[in-house]
Amino acid sequence: MYICDNYQFSIRTVIHILEFETILAEITHGMHKLVIGEVYRVPNTNEQLSSNRYETILRKLLIFNGDVMIGTDQNFNYLNVERHGNTRDLLNLFITNGFIPTITKATRICHSTSTLIDNIYTKSNPNENISSGILIVDISDHLPVFVLLGKLTQTKRIPKVITYRPIDETKIHNMANYLDKHNWASLDVENVVDENDSFTNTINY
């Protein structure tokens, strides 16, 4: 977890047990408070026990008066939510506690299988703007997921002005005559920097 040093924060919870790794941090920015967390569930561990671990964490977060974001590699495949009872129960657990999953497409894609096992859950003010997505890059065997919370501020861009000289045969002919008649004698007595400036100024005239 990376937190910009512009923000005040404190670590609220750290859990490191056999099948579960969790860290929660509370961040304060002005009047705004946010808890962000990361939960990793080891694959192929007891599903019911894992659901109980998630429930314990969510219960603790219910008393927090502010926005909450939980990122998790949960190893419950939401693409099987209609066919797998424990997966359906986990989704219901999050939703009934006010946590909304923001990722709805596969996050781990292999040659013959695809699974939705990574997610970011949010519990926030309903007036907040939330944008989420998946980055299609192969930096790991899981596709990175992201959530943007809050209003996006657009920086007013100053238009870039490009100046150029229209070129045609007449202008090329006139330039050739100008350069041919120009007195270049000063280049023999100036230093290299001044010669370069003089030459550049001449051809840009």
Torsion angle, alpha carbons of 69, 72, 77, 78, to 10: 0
Span 53-65, pLDDT tens digits:
999 999 888 888 8
DSSP strand pairing (118-123 vs 20-29): unpaired
Q: Which of 81, 67, 138, 157 is nearest to 115 (CA)?
A: 81
pLDDT of residue 177: 85
Torsion angle, alpha carbons of 136, 138, 142, 144, to 10: -50
Span 90-110, pLDDT tens digits:
999 999 999 999 999 999 998
DSSP letter, residue 127: T
Least trusted range by pLDDT, from 6-10, 83-87, 181-185, 188-192: 188-192
Band the pLDDT of 135: cuts 50, 70, 90: very high
pLDDT of residue 12: 86
Span 144-176, pLDDT tens digits:
999 987 766 667 788 888 887 788 888 888 888
Least trusted range by pLDDT, from 49-58, 74-83, 193-202: 193-202
What is the token pair recorded at 156? 């007013």
In this structure, which amino acid lies at residue 17?
I
Rg (the chain; Cα; Å): 30
